[in-house]
Structure 1
Amino acid sequence: MNKTVNINLANMLFHIDENAFQKLQRYLEAIKRSFSGTRGSDEIIADIEARIAELFYEKVESQRQVITMKEVDEVISIMGQPEDYHIDEEIFEDAPPAGQPASRPRVKKLYRDMDNKFIGGVCAGLEHYLGLDALWIRLIFLFLAIFGSGFGLIAYIILWILVPEAATTAQKLDMTGEPVNISNIERKVKEGIDDVADKVRSVDYEKVGSRVKQTGKSFFDTLGDIILFLFKVFGKFIGIVLILVGAATLLGLFIGLFTVGIMDAIHIPGIDLMGLITDVPVWLASLLMFFAVGIPFFFLMYLGLKILVTNLKSIGNIAKFSLLGLWLISIITLSVLGIRQASAHAFTGSVSETHALAPVDSLRIQFRDAESSDLPSAWVGGVEVRYDEGDNARLYFDDILLDIQMADDSVASLRIRKDADGRSFADARETAAAIDYAFAFSGSTLQLDEHFTTHAENKVRDQEIRLTLYVPEGTVLSFNPGAGDHLSRRIRNDRDLNRKRLANYTWKMDGEGRLECLDCPEDLPGETGNGHIIINEDGVDIDLKDDTDALRVKIDEEGVRVKAGRDDH
């Protein structure tokens, strides 16, 4: 049984075996003695402890796991012994000292290089990661921003948000792919110290001294401070806007996900009807839409928080890249599902059938409604869904149009054409063939259903019925009052009446394939014969009329005059 102790290493808590703790303590004391009196020794030791803590964190599987002598030995083998890595005070070599085996090449990690940044350090970090000069990377982003519909700017902002900056010495070494050991940490710290020293030596002390002696700021210094203050206020305002927009969008998406997607997932009645239009489950489409739209707005809100809160804790690289991956998966999946749904209407197929009617001198055309039922029904996409006693759903459509043409012989006939969409011509024709439509002919009356039906499994695929009635010359036709809603605009008649007014009178098929009105008033106006357009030296005079409204438009040197009113007819 071994005693364990708790240690705080680089602000990280670890449980460590007592023997392993004593060895680690001796190792750190040896490092401190090795760097005693060295420039930047405190920073070097702090970076070494941070690297050791990082290695311990990678090796433990849970917070309760105890670090043993094995983990300590592995960390020491990675970091190296102090006496093996002592570097001369003035001369630094990238290669390890003689006698020290070369470290294995490390995989580079992507960081933002803040030491060589131009804006956010993204391109400078990609230079280390890709081995491509930062100038070319900046030119690529600029090209994509200008000629790629802003993609370069969006990509740069996303990388700016997701990629962390190389703040510590260990992160800077990871960025360049160098081993994070004692030798390299010491070298990087001393290089930083030398850079600062060079900057200090290059300062014009006389110039600085003269500025110190000044009693106050100049006008331009004050103006610069004011402008800087205004920029900070504007930045805070932008941060607030980003937070409000992101939070409001996420709240709306969450409510939409709950009310639509979750309701479909738990089979709340009525929501499942959306599946009659699309092949994609509603809950899946809602979830993908939530991720596709919500993740970018989450990062907008997070960016606003970063602007407002200086020391806001990062959500971590794992969370950032996980959200990015989830967003890409959602976008790709939605695109595939969208293409699949569009392909369901890519082709239109038709099936036709012709039924001969008995020879008659007159024909009464009636449109009859579907039989009423006390069984439950609902509407989706303009289509009625009815359930039978076995809870089997059927779709009821009313997209039916009737055209009337002259027959080639003395026998009347009815042609029924069924149309539907599908992923192929064969699929469309199969869906069209599944349509059920009924009519009845008795004596001199032709009864046509106002609705046609199909099973719910055929879904809504723009199904429609087009009827063509062929009647011999001289046949007298009459309609029931509701027939006007289903008559085609292609029906020719000698009064130029529209389809709704046409159903109010009795007609006879003449020898030219046109209907001749038998009981229309002599002064009955048509749709085109009572209006006029006059263009002369006085301007443009337009007078348009129909059966209910009158509109008169006159354009001349006095301007435009519009007069609307009720027609006397």
Structure 2
Amino acid sequence: MKKTIQINIAGMVFNIEEDAYEKLNAYLASIKQYFASYEGSQEIVSDIEARIAEKFWTNQKSDSQPVITYEGVNDLIKSMGSVSDFEAIEEEEDLKNTAQSTANNTQSTFSSQQSTAGSQESDSKATQPKRLYRDVKRKALGGVLAGLAHYFNIDVVWVRIIYLLLFLGLPPIDDDLGPISGFVFLAYFVCWVVFPPNFNLDEDKKIKKFYRDNDNKVLGGVCSGLAAYFGVDITVIRLLFVLSVFLFGTGFLAYIILWIVAPKAQTLTQKMEMKGEPVTLSNIETNIKESINVDKNAPENALTKILLFPFRLVGIVIKALGEVLKHLGPVARVLAGIMLMLFSLAMIVGVVAAVAAFFGVASGIEGTEFFDRSPFKIFSQDIHPMTGFFAFLAMFTPFLALLLTGLTLLSNRRIGNRNFWISLLGLWLAGLMGTGILATKYALNFKKKGRFEQTKNFPYTLSGQTLVLDANNNQDDDFEEFQIREDVEVNLEGYEGTDLKLEQRFESSGPTKAEAEANAKNILYNVIQKDSSLSFDQKISLPEKARFRGQDLHMTLYVPYDKPFKITKSFYHSVYRHDWGNKNFELDGDDVDKYTYVMKRDSGMVCRDCPKLSDEEREALRDNRYDDDDDSAFDYGVFEEKGQHEKKFELSGFDKVEVGGAFIVTIRKGSSFEVIADTDDQSDLDDIDFEIRNNTLEIGHKDKFSFSRRNETVRINITMPSLEGLDISGASTLKVIGFKDKNKDLDIQLSGASKAAIDVEVRKIEFDASGASKADLRGSAERVNMDISGACHIDAKRMEINQARADASGASHISFGKVKDFDSNTSGASKISRE
């Protein structure tokens, strides 16, 4: 029987045998005495005591021994080293000239002792199967990433960095893999639920850890920490960061992420772990001596000063902002709390209203005209009522958390305990999982595509009357079928025949191809011939008990060549697939019913009795359409203004135009070359620089550094026979009209804050835009390839396009009309839409 006593080491309480206590007390006393002459000796001893407490705590958990024994203290001293050991080494160094060799041998002895102890400990654990746990002891949130780091024997900092990069969508992954950010976010909470917690995971001391080096920092200590971790010169790391800042800001982003994720090396133990050194008394003394001998006033070389300048500048700015914002903390906290509360309350009201409406629909408000004639009737047959419950949990709980966070900021008091927040998190995860499962089940109804095609013939014999193509507004008719508010489209083509021939392609989705085809056959659509009129329904409809599966209808009406026909306004606006401006005749949509049309073998649809317009009248008509367009982002009136001073330039032999600066440029097609510029200030006119290089007319300013002389608007009117390329930058505004050659390709590049209104008919358009460019595309093109970045806005709804491929990034927006073959890819906050 042995007597035990209770001791406190670094804030941790242990039970220790009496003889073990005497041994440990003598060991600590020798350490205190040895380091008493060092500056900051109290901090050094406290750090050593914390290391000793950590070792005792780990040994107790792994060996299930509630008491520290005499043998346990001896094992600790062997692993840490004793004062007498390296005192003997120092005496021997004074007597011998081979001090370095002896020191290395002694250090090797200490390291081998620690390595032997560590290997024995690892051998004892090697027999145990490795399992995944949540490392609760070293957790930042739930301990999932710390547990993964322990399982794979790597520093948890790198696991957190990888997770953060994936959550931010870096590097970008193809859209076919889905939203990676949402996947890793959900995976974390799934692992939180699946992995069991473990409070006793032993830390592998052999793993080199990454810390921010606070002693050698300039800004946050990231570069010096990386240099210590990888064992390279700190100048190399800083140079790499400075260079990577110019690679789209990746260096700055990486620095911020590492600053957030990596902890700061504050204690001696952490500083030694940062260098990968074992924590022994000998190494502690060595690090202390190195820190004492550092000459902080040593001069820096020129390269070091250059590399450190941006970091020091940012550090000064951050420090100044910190001093300013320090006194605004309470005000900012209250304002942030109020904003969070108002926002979350508004969103909660919206969520409750939406869910209430959903349950009203799901419960079946049948018998009411609203329900029976609305899309809710179809959707209520497919969507499970529990979807509303899970959606409520998924949407309500985060806004409730924001509301409570706002209250916390406002009251400066914590609201809710740990169990409450964990329960709220669990409800949110349950809502996400439930909604995802039910939504996936519903989405499987659209897994396969199916189609059904049929051909109908209508006699053209009209006994002297002219055929009229009309559209029937079946949206308000009294029928029992359910209408899909999906526009149908009718293409008009000519052919060698005597009757009207209508080809219909019904399309739908379904869980299987057979069901998809059956759904396509269930589409109801009427085409009625009465006297001289052939009337098309404006919308497709479904039987009463049919399910919505993305039904659609495409039609082509073949009209015999040279047979006259008319079209009504309703047909033109509702179902006829026409291109803007009627490429073969200049008419507004309100005038289409006044004239007669025929299909020609060589020129397609032709107006027989439309008024003939001159080129100037046709151009004026198109300009008026531009001006009357409410959706347009341009002020087309600027093209029609004219300055007091005008100059004509003798330039020719170019088929491309490059504009840099802030000009207003109009490019027209003509049989010869003509370049005329006008402005209200003669000096601005004299400052224009024209140069032809490689068949490209380059327009800029002679004095590229004189901004004061460019106050007046400079307009440039260009006439040229052929146009193959445009490169517009700066703040220029461009209008292109009159180029119609379907055997030509056009390359367009916009950058900066440039604007372009382009009306052409070509074979292919290669379109690149960046910055805050805007463009309005009209006319026609067989194929259009777009690569848009930044905050551009491209409107191509009024251009007839057969094939389109569009890539958009940043906050760009592209709008297309009806495109047959369409492929798009978006990233960031960009958006691509089509009719």
The two structures share one fold, judged by TM-score above 0.5? yes
Work out whether 1:486 is the aligned partner of 2:497: no
Amino acid at match of 2:526: F
**In 2 relative to 1, CA 494–157 (structure 1 residues): closer, same or farther, beyond 3 Å?**
closer
Work out whether 1:135 is the aligned partner of 2:222: no
2:275 to 173, 176, 190: 176
Partner of 1:319: none
Partner of 1:48: 48
2:24 to 23, 27, 35: 27
User: 2-side partners of 1:111 and 1:406: how far apart?
Assistant: 75
- Contact 2:471 2:570 (C-alpha < 8 Å) held by counterparts: no
User: 1-side partners of 2:471 and 2:618: how far apart?
Assistant: 42
> What is the CA-CA distance between 1:178 and the residue it aligns to?
1.6
Partner of 2:472: 368
- Contact 1:113 1:166 (C-alpha < 8 Å) held by counterparts: yes
User: 1-side partners of 2:325 and 2:553: how far apart?
Assistant: 53
Work out whether 1:145 is the aligned partner of 2:245: yes
User: 2-side partners of 1:71 and 1:254: how far apart?
Assistant: 56
Work out whether 1:236 is the aligned partner of 2:237: no
Amino acid at match of 1:48: I
> What is the CA-CA distance between 1:438 and the residue it aligns to?
1.3
Work out whether 1:188 is the aligned partner of 2:287: yes
> What is the CA-CA distance between 1:260 and the residue it aligns to?
9.1
Cα deviations by residue, 1:269-313 (Å, 9 ceiling, x for unpaired): 699999x9xxxx9999x999x99xxxxxx9xxxxxx9xxxxxxxx
1:400 to 488, 503, 509: 488
Amino acid at match of 1:133: D
Work out whether 1:159 is the aligned partner of 2:258: yes
2:539 to 451, 463, 472: 451
Q: Normalization by structure 2: what TM-score?
A: 0.40
**In 2 relative to 1, CA 500–3 (structure 1 residues): closer, same or farther, beyond 3 Å?**
farther
- Contact 1:111 1:166 (C-alpha < 8 Å) held by counterparts: yes
> What is the CA-CA distance between 1:25 and the residue it aligns to?
5.5
> What is the CA-CA distance between 1:133 and the residue it aligns to?
2.7
The unaligned stretches of length 5 or more in structure 1 are 203-227, 292-297, 299-304, 306-340, 376-386, 389-393, 518-524, 536-540, 561-569
- The SS at the match of 2:504 is strand
- Contact 1:111 1:165 (C-alpha < 8 Å) held by counterparts: yes
- Contact 1:398 1:451 (C-alpha < 8 Å) held by counterparts: yes
* RMSD, matched Cα: 6.2
> What is the CA-CA distance between 1:159 and the residue it aligns to?
1.4
Work out whether 1:502 is the aligned partner of 2:592: yes
User: 1-side partners of 2:616 and 2:15: how far apart?
Assistant: 103
Partner of 2:90: 88
Partner of 1:212: none
**In 2 relative to 1, CA 403–114 (structure 1 residues): closer, same or farther, beyond 3 Å?**
closer
The higher-RCO structure (CA 8 Å, 6+ apart) is: 1
- The SS at the match of 1:398 is strand
Partner of 2:503: 415
User: 1-side partners of 2:336 and 2:241: how far apart?
Assistant: 26
> What is the CA-CA distance between 1:110 and the residue it aligns to?
1.1
Q: How does 1:53-68 map to 2 (within 5 A)?
A: 53-58=53-58, 66=66, 68=68
Q: How does 1:547-558 map to 2 (within 5 A)?
A: 555-556=641-642
> What is the CA-CA distance between 1:149 and the residue it aligns to?
0.8
Work out whether 1:438 is the aligned partner of 2:520: no
User: 1-side partners of 2:275 and 2:26: how far apart?
Assistant: 29
**In 2 relative to 1, CA 97–175 (structure 1 residues): closer, same or farther, beyond 3 Å?**
closer
Amino acid at match of 2:106: P
> What is the CA-CA distance between 1:47 and the residue it aligns to?
2.5
User: 2-side partners of 1:446 and 1:179: how far apart?
Assistant: 91
- Contact 1:489 1:499 (C-alpha < 8 Å) held by counterparts: no
Partner of 2:709: none
- Contact 2:457 2:499 (C-alpha < 8 Å) held by counterparts: yes
Moved more, 126-135 or 400-409: 400-409
Amino acid at match of 2:15: D
**In 2 relative to 1, CA 268–118 (structure 1 residues): closer, same or farther, beyond 3 Å?**
same
User: 2-side partners of 1:403 and 1:502: how far apart?
Assistant: 16
User: 2-side partners of 1:532 and 1:97: how far apart?
Assistant: 94
Amino acid at match of 1:88: E
Q: How does 1:204-243 map to 2 (within 5 A)?
A: 232-237=319-324
> What is the CA-CA distance between 1:259 and the residue it aligns to?
8.3
**In 2 relative to 1, CA 359–103 (structure 1 residues): closer, same or farther, beyond 3 Å?**
same
**In 2 relative to 1, CA 252–358 (structure 1 residues): closer, same or farther, beyond 3 Å?**
farther
> What is the CA-CA distance between 1:467 and the residue it aligns to?
3.7
Partner of 2:716: none
- The SS at the match of 1:109 is coil
User: 2-side partners of 1:160 and 1:496: how far apart?
Assistant: 63
Q: How does 1:166-565 map to 2 (within 5 A)?
A: 166-193=265-292, 195=293, 232-237=319-324, 353-361=454-462, 362=465, 363-370=467-474, 396-417=484-505, 436=523, 438-444=525-531, 445-452=533-540, 458-459=549-550, 465-471=554-560, 473-474=562-563, 477=566, 479=568, 484-489=573-578, 496-503=586-593, 505=594, 507=596, 509=598, 514=606, 516=608, 529=613, 532=616, 555-556=641-642
User: 2-side partners of 1:487 and 1:476: how far apart?
Assistant: 14
User: 2-side partners of 1:249 and 1:188: how far apart?
Assistant: 50
Amino acid at match of 2:261: L
- The SS at the match of 1:36 is helix
**In 2 relative to 1, CA 97–24 (structure 1 residues): closer, same or farther, beyond 3 Å?**
farther
Partner of 1:114: 214
User: 2-side partners of 1:352 and 1:178: how far apart?
Assistant: 76
Cα deviations by residue, 1:95-116 (Å, 9 ceiling, x for unpaired): 5369654432832211222333
Give the structure with the higher percent strand: 2
**In 2 relative to 1, CA 481–373 (structure 1 residues): closer, same or farther, beyond 3 Å?**
closer
**In 2 relative to 1, CA 152–419 (structure 1 residues): closer, same or farther, beyond 3 Å?**
farther
**In 2 relative to 1, CA 437–507 (structure 1 residues): closer, same or farther, beyond 3 Å?**
farther
User: 2-side partners of 1:152 and 1:18: how far apart?
Assistant: 52
Amino acid at match of 1:96: T
User: 2-side partners of 1:180 and 1:23: how far apart?
Assistant: 22
- The SS at the match of 1:116 is coil
User: 1-side partners of 2:4 and 2:361: how far apart?
Assistant: 59
Amino acid at match of 1:141: F
- The SS at the match of 1:31 is helix
Cα deviations by residue, 1:436-458 (Å, 9 ceiling, x for unpaired): 35123344343322113588774
- Percent identity at matched positions? 22
- The SS at the match of 2:256 is helix
> What is the CA-CA distance between 1:412 and the residue it aligns to?
1.4
Cα deviations by residue, 1:487-516 (Å, 9 ceiling, x for unpaired): 34369799854344324x474758786455
The unaligned stretches of length 5 or more in structure 2 are 116-204, 299-314, 363-374, 380-386, 399-404, 410-442, 630-635, 645-678, 681-835
Cα deviations by residue, 1:48-95 (Å, 9 ceiling, x for unpaired): 202112334545669x99555487665445324454454538878355
**In 2 relative to 1, CA 451–270 (structure 1 residues): closer, same or farther, beyond 3 Å?**
farther
User: 2-side partners of 1:232 and 1:482: how far apart?
Assistant: 68
